[in-house]
Amino acid sequence: MKKFRLIAMIAMMTMVLVLLLSSCGANKEEKTESEEDLTPTSSITIDEEEAAVLNEKVPVILYFGDAEKTKLVKEIRYVDIAEAKKGAEALASVMVKELIAGPKANGLTSVIPEGTTLRSPVKIEDRLATVDLTKEFIEKHPGGDTLAELTVYSIVNTLTELKDIERVKIIINGKETKNFSGKVTLNNDFPRNEAIVNKEVGLAVPEEGGLTLEVSEETDAADITDVEEEPLE
């Protein structure tokens, strides 16, 4: 009889021990699952406000001088998509204003003379863009054939990134002029010039706060600046 009671007690103790072990295992598993829930599932640090801002912008490519002012370098810039939807002329005007404002990426320099402004919106006719600038464009230019070419083609290459523009004509105070600097004159319109671009640098991205867009060398700029146009009012 005593032997039977002893066996029963051992069986009960074994059951209690099994239950305790099972409970500990369950708690450990529950704790592990809870810890795993706290682990981030993505390395993206964008919030809703930043995403909304990006959705309201369209990327364009501008051309600025390099540090030595011997070549042009591409810089990506974001402009309001509302302006882009107004049409190619509106977008081209915004791009020229951004160009005049100067670069945001490190190592780039502005080659547009200080004080220059856009007198009127850029006009596009038969794929020719006409850019009307103030007299500072000529009067405050430091001179030199190389810098003069950079100045002209910073505008020309920037605007010919748009599919609607193949050539650019620069006028001053609403009038055609021949004078500029050295061998460079403004009495003709200008086609795009890839030879003056420093392709080793590639695409400069501003190091300011905010989001950036990765663009490969094979990307067609006309593709990333092509937005659905709304009728002009």
CA distance 229 to 78: 17
**DSSP H or E segment with residue 136:** helix 136-139
In 3D space, the residue among 99, 90, 148 whose CA is nearest the CA of residue 120 turns out to be 90
Domain count, the chain: 1
Sole residue written with tokens 């850029």: 122
Domain for residue 19, yes or no?
no
Q: Which three-class secondary structure state does DSSP give residue 150? A: helix
Q: pTM of the entire structure?
A: 0.69
Structural domain boundaries, residue 117:
50-224
Sole residue written with tokens 């190389």: 146
Domain for residue 27, yes or no?
no
Domain for residue 14, yes or no?
no
pLDDT digits (tens, 9 = 90+) for 42-54: 333 445 555 555 5
What are the structure tokens assigned to 178, written together? 């021949």
Domain for residue 3, yes or no?
no
Domain for residue 29, yes or no?
no
pLDDT digits (tens, 9 = 90+) for 44-93: 344 555 555 557 889 999 999 999 999 999 999 999 999 889 999 999 99
User: In 10 A of CB 92, how many CB atoms?
Assistant: 26
